[in-house]
Every structure is written in structure tokens, then in C-alpha cells.
């Protein structure tokens, strides 16, 4: 099925926002980069903020689809999937287009807790926390909520550090720390 104009706009805007940032990307730049007129943009989205929320929803869906699929390809058991998540991060960090996490970036640019953009970013992190907590539960962790939280913190820290230092090494370091936490959480 061919994507409609609104979906095409969101996909193209995602690329521009991820590359250049939200505040640094004005509507004129979006018009130039996407080939979609302002009239058409405003037909689909009343404000730039509405477009950003749609972009974040698309990024959430596409990132989690890729991430969970890749983790499943790399490992079989829940415990191994927790560790493999850091191998998937290494792959992401090594992409030429890697610019950090769009949701961390959105949270930094839109820091009012009631902002719909920040809320969308927070939702993404909550879904990832649920994912890690579920894996921890399936692995038999004594306190799956605590382990899920700690794994998410390692993942997020690896993202920020890799983005700032320009290396994938933080994911490798985080994996080794996750291994220690996982071993401790699974002790009888």
C-alpha cells in the first residue's frame, strides 16, 4: 500500500528533525527539505509541535520494532536478550546517521513536563522500561522492576555517552555492567 502524503511528510520530517534538531528546524527548512508546501503541512498538522509528536510516534514504532527484532535475532533466552540489547546498541551507534536518541533530544529541547512532546518522549522510555522489566521477569530475576530500571539506565547512559564521545564503546561497557547486575539478580 502506498503511503499517503501525511505519512510521507512525517517520514521526511523525522529525517530532518533527527539530523538537525527540533528547535533548529523551522517550517521553511521543512518545506525546503521535504518538498511539502507550508499549506499542505498545515493541512495535516495545525502546529509544528503536532508534527513533532507525529514524528516521535513514528520513531518510537520504528525504533522499537528494529530493536526488539534485532535483540530476538541475537539471543534466545530472556537473560541473553537483556545482554544482546547492548550488542544491538553497538550496531546503532556505528551507523553513519547516528545522532543520539531522538527522545532524549526531545526531552532536552522540550523540558516542561506537561509538554506533549516531552510526554511522547517519556512514553517511549516507559515502554522500553516495561520491555526490560518483562525480560527480567521472564529471566527469573528476584526483583524484575529493579533490574529493568537498572538496565534501562545503563542503556540510556550508553546512548548519551556514545553520542557525546563519538564511540560505540559505552554500549560494550554497559553490557559488562549489565552482566554483573543480571548475575546478581538471578542468584538463588
Q: CA–CA distance from 142 to each of 110, 147, 148, 175, 180 (Å)?
A: 36, 9, 11, 20, 14
Assess if residue 19 is contained within a domain: no
Assess if residue 132 is contained within a domain: yes
Is residue 173's pLDDT more than 60? yes
> 61-78 pLDDT, tens per residue?
999 999 999 999 999 999
Return the CATH number at 102.
1.10.357.10
Assess if residue 31 is contained within a domain: no
Dmax over CA atoms of the chain, in Å, equals 63
Parent domain of 148: 53-186
Phi and psi at residue 27, to the nearest 5°: -65, -35
* Per-residue confidence band for 5, with pLDDT thresholds at 50, 70 and 90: confident
Assess if residue 58 is contained within a domain: yes
> 105-161 pLDDT, tens per residue?
999 999 999 999 999 999 999 999 999 999 999 999 999 999 999 999 999 999 999
Amino acid at each position: 500500500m502506498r503511503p499517503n502524503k501525511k505519512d510521507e511528510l512525517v517520514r521526511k520530517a523525522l529525517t530532518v528533525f533527527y539530523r538537525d534538531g527540533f528547535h533548529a528546524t523551522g517550517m521553511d527548512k521543512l518545506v525546503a527539505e521535504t518538498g511539502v508546501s507550508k499549506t499542505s503541512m498545515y493541512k495535516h498538522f495545525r502546529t509544528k509541535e503536532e508534527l513533532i509528536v507525529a514524528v516521535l510516534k513514528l520513531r518510537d514504532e520504528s525504533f522499537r520494532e528494529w530493536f526488539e527484532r534485532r535483540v530476538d535475532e541475537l539471543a534466545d533466552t530472556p537473560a541473553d536478550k537483556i545482554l544482546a540489547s547492548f550488542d544491538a546498541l553497538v550496531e546503532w551507534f556505528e551507523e553513519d546517521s547516528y545522532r543520539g536518541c531522538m527522545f532524549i533530544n526531545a526531552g532536552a529541547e522540550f523540558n516542561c513536563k506537561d509538554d506533549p512532546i516531552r510526554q511522547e518522549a517519556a512514553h517511549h522510555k516507559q515502554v522500553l522500561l516495561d520491555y526490560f522489566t518483562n525480560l527480567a521477569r521472564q529471566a527469573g530475576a528476584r526483583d524484575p522492576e529493579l533490574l529493568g530500571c537498572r538496565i534501562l539506565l545503563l542503556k540510556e547512559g550508553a546512548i548519551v555517552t556514545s553520542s557525546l564521545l563519538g564511540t560505540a564503546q559505552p554500549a560494550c561497557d554497559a553490557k559488562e555492567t549489565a552482566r554483573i547486575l543480571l548475575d546478581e539478580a538471578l542468584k538463588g
